[in-house]
Structure 1
Amino acid sequence: MIYVALVREGSAVWRAVPAEEVADGEFVLGGAMPEDERWEFIPGTRVRCEERSFSDGSRGLVAVARLSEG
């Protein structure tokens, strides 16, 4: 699981999303985006992830950039 930011929420909100690691620090997002949410990166997108701290003190991998397929 990695975390993807929800957009238009007014504050930092994260969604845990299944993902497949395809290279070191690179993942392809899985799952399905609920109709009432807008994710920063949609399912099927290849993303770069970094470890981040959340407001509750926990840590997790967060999608930070879209990557090209090549």
Structure 2
Amino acid sequence: MASSTEIGAVHVRLLDEGTDVWRPVEAERLGETTYRIADQTVPADEVWSFQPGDIVVVEHRQGGGDDQPLIAVARAMDFDEPSWASRRKAG
């Protein structure tokens, strides 16, 4: 792992929007598929699926071409890699 902190954008789903809406937020890369959402203010009119400080598992969004954004799919502490892999193969 690199010695410097790598900051990037991770997209979190907004709740209560009536349709799929994603917000890019700053996050610190911790591992290959894990990021910590940076400390930032959540706008008063938004409800994020993950909160600042949460460590999340990310994956590339499908259908985004060469520049596929990273999306937060689970909290790292809730992530069970074997069951996630079997669920991904079934879908």
Fold-level match, TM-score > 0.5? yes
Whole-Å separation in 2 of the counterparts to 1:64 and 1:25: 10
User: Which of 26, 43, 49 is 2:52 aligned to?
Assistant: 43
1:26 maps to what in 2?
34
Deviations along 1:1-27, one digit per CA (max 9) or x if unpaired, are 010000010101000000000111100
Q: Which has the higher contact order (CA 8 A, sep 6+)?
A: 1
* % identity of equivalent residues: 39
Deviations along 1:20-45, one digit per CA (max 9) or x if unpaired, are 00111100001221111000001100
Structure 2 residue runs without a partner (length 5+) = 1-8, 78-91
Output aligned runs, 1:5-16, within 5 Å. 5-16=13-24
TM-score, normalised to structure 1, is 0.86
- 2:47 maps to a residue whose letter is R
Aligned pair count reads 67
Q: C-alpha root-mean-square deviation of aligned residues, in Å?
A: 1.7
Larger strand proportion, structure 1 or 2? 1
1:59 CA displacement: 2.2
For the pair shown, which has the larger CA radius of gyration, 1 or 2? 2
